[in-house]
Amino acid sequence: MKKHIEELIQLGVSRNLGHNEEVEVTTPVIIFWKSYKSRILRDFRARNTYTVPDRYPIPRIQEALTQSSKAKHINSMDALKGFDQNFLIPKAKKLLRIITNHGSYKYLRISFEIESAPSHYERMMNTIFPIDLSEG
């Protein structure tokens, strides 16, 4: 657990809560093991009840593949920890907090477990790469 928390802090995704900071909502975390690898699991469903859903359209894979079949060139890019690249607004930081046996931590960046993360990420990618695939 400690290794995962330290990695989140080192990447600037999370930070330790100070003793004087209010804690309104916390989410417990567990470690999930699969094939000798571990990852931290957070259950933000309670946090999602405080959220207004973001209904930004996300393209269907089949449609994107059909549209890209007309292209002469195709590039691909892997956005490492893509959701972690987006900062949270101050109000969201109060709701995205986790608690472990090592302390309480607050998120500074979006976590992929929150309901609006995929829509927010798609909007960001469309802003950075405003490409109309229908033009070929």
Q: What's 21's domain CATH number? A: 3.10.10
Segment 27-79, tens digit of pLDDT: 888 888 888 888 888 888 877 777 788 888 888 888 878 877 888 887 777 77
Token pair, residue 43, equals 């259950």
* Widest distance between CA atoms in the chain: 58
This prediction has a pTM of 0.68
Q: Which residues form the domain of 9?
A: 2-135
Please determine, for residue 131, whether its predicted confidence score (pLDDT) is greater than 70: no
Number of structural domains the chain divides into: 1
Count CB neighbours of 81 within 10 A. Answer: 10
Ordered DSSP codes for 25-51: --EEEEEEEETTEEEEEE--HHHHTTS
